[in-house]
Amino acid sequence: MKKNLLVSLLLVAFLSCKTEKKVNPIKEIKVEAPKSTAEFSIEKASKQINFTAYKTSDKIPVGGQFKKVNVLSGGEGNTVKEAIHNTEFSIPVSSLFTQNSSRDYKIKKFFFGIMDNTKLLSGKLLLTDTTNGVVEIKMNGVSQKVPFKYSIVDRVFNMKASMDVNNWNASKALASLNNVCLDLHRGADGISITWSEVTLNITTIF
């Protein structure tokens, strides 16, 4: 019994005096993404996403813009067309700007806020020939294609389109916005109207 106790004490003493091996910390290896060599990049370009909505029976235009767009895939190329074609994007509704903070609030809350999963507008740009294209837009849980006309002059891409928001099942959201803007959207005939038509004018300067 004493012998076993002595052996145990010697073993503990030996282990206590044993030099611990130093463990070298694992160095984090940073892998840098390859830098793009494409001459044209939407991410780096100047982008103007303007829209025009309409109110009253006289169809008075109300302009606005989205001040931010995120490129999800594509968006680069050795020509303007290559950079635009097949680009997938998303636009935060929070970036909406009409130069009227009260109007901005109403559109965000009583129009887009009524829709399903529409904190972002998303889509994809497709160029079908030298002057025509199609943009697939997802809004209110619905995806629809909108044809557009475009031009390329030097390093400037411009596209124009017209969309009817009712094609995205947005009649409820449109009625909600018109209700909160009832008097503001009332014309000389006494009728209050918020049109479902919206005109897009988008310019990208590379």
pLDDT over 90 percentage in the chain? 81
Q: What is the pLDDT of residue 22?
A: 52
pLDDT digits (tens, 9 = 90+) for 84-141: 999 999 999 999 999 999 999 999 999 999 999 999 999 999 999 999 999 999 999 9
Q: What is the pLDDT of residue 13?
A: 42
Domain borders along the chain are 38-205
pLDDT over 80 (residue 15): no
Q: What is the pLDDT of residue 45?
A: 97
pLDDT over 50 (residue 173): yes
Report the chain's mean pLDDT, rounded to a whole number: 89
Domain 38-205: top CATH class: mainly beta
* Six token digits for residue 42: 């939407």
- Say if residues 146 and 135 touch (Cβ distance below 8 Å): yes
pLDDT digits (tens, 9 = 90+) for 125-169: 999 999 999 999 999 999 999 999 999 999 999 999 999 999 999
Cα dihedral sign for 178, 180, 182, 183? negative
Strands 88-92, 120-127: pairing is antiparallel
